[in-house]
Chain A
Amino acid sequence: GDSVTQMEGPVTLSEEAFLTINCTYTATGYPSLFWYVQYPGEGLQLLLKATKADDKGSNKGFEATYRKETTSFHLEKGSVQVSDSAVYFCALSDPGGYGNKLVFGAGTILRVKS
C-alpha cells in the first residue's frame, strides 16, 4: 500500500541553522504531497503542498520540491527560528483512493535552540 517514510528525530538545531527533513514515499499513480506542522498542544496545520512532479511548495520560508524520479519531498528552510520548533509530518494523498484521504509519515520532531 501507499506509505510515507520520514527521517527519525528529534532534529536539534541552533537558531539560524539550515534545516532539511527527508521524506520519501511509495505510491501507485501520481499522488499530491504535503507537509503539515503540529505545534505543541495543537492540531496539525498545512504548511505547504505540491500536486505534480517538479512542483515546489513554499510557505513561511519553508520549501519542498516534488521529485518523482527519487520519490522524495524533502522539507528545507534556510534559517530556522525557535518558533519553528514543532513536529513536521510528510503526507500523500491516496491516488487510488476515494476523495481526500491522506497517508501520513511518522512525524519528525524539530527543536531549535536559541
Chain B
Amino acid sequence: DAGVIQSPRHEVTEMGQEVTLRCKPISGHDYLFWYRQTMMRGLELLIYFNNNVPIDDSGMPEDRFSAKMPNASFSTLKIQPSEPRDSAVYFCASSLYASGANVLTFGAGSRLTVL
C-alpha cells in the first residue's frame, strides 16, 4: 500500500480564497482523522470519521472549516474563506480499529500558507 496520500503538499493562497485539501486513506482503514499542526498550538485534532461518518468535529475552529468523506477512499478539508491564521501543516491520518491500540498512519501533510 502506498500509505496515506495527501495533496497538495504545498499551497500558497491569498486571504479570502477557498482552499481544498485532499486525502486518500489506506485501503481498508475505517477511521480517518484531520489534524492541524502549528508552532503555537502543536497538533490539534480537527475532525474524525468512522466508516465515512463524522464522529467528532468539535476541533473544527470555525464555520469556515468543513470536511467531507464521500466514500471510504477519499476525504476533503475545505477552508472558505481562508485567513492568514489558518497557515499551518494539515495532516490526514487513518487507522483500522480491528488492529487494536489506535495505531494511526499519517500522510506527509499539506503545508498551507495564507498571505
Residues of A whose CB lies within 8 Å of any CB of B are: 32, 34, 36, 41-46, 49, 51, 89, 93, 97-107
Contact = CB atoms under 8 A, between A and B. Distances in A.
B104 A46 contact: yes
B55 to A, nearest CB: 6
A45 B4 CA distance: 11
B34 interface: no
Nearest to B49: A99
Contacts of B102: 32, 34, 93, 100-102
Nearest to A44: B106
B25 interface: no
Tell me whether chain B's interface is mostly helix, strand or loop, or mixed: strand
Interface in B72-100: 91, 93, 95, 97, 100
For chain B, the bracket of interface size reads 20 to 34
Nearest to A41: B108
B101 A98 contact: no
Contacts, number: 64
Interface of B: 4, 31, 33, 42-43, 45, 48, 50, 55-56, 91, 93, 95, 97, 100-109
A102 B106 CA distance: 12
A36 B37 CA distance: 14
A98 B56 contact: yes
14 contacts: A43-B106, A44-B91, A44-B93, A93-B102, A99-B31, A99-B48, A99-B55, A99-B97, A100-B31, A100-B48, A101-B45, A102-B104, A104-B42, A105-B42
A51 B103 CA distance: 11
B107 A43 contact: yes
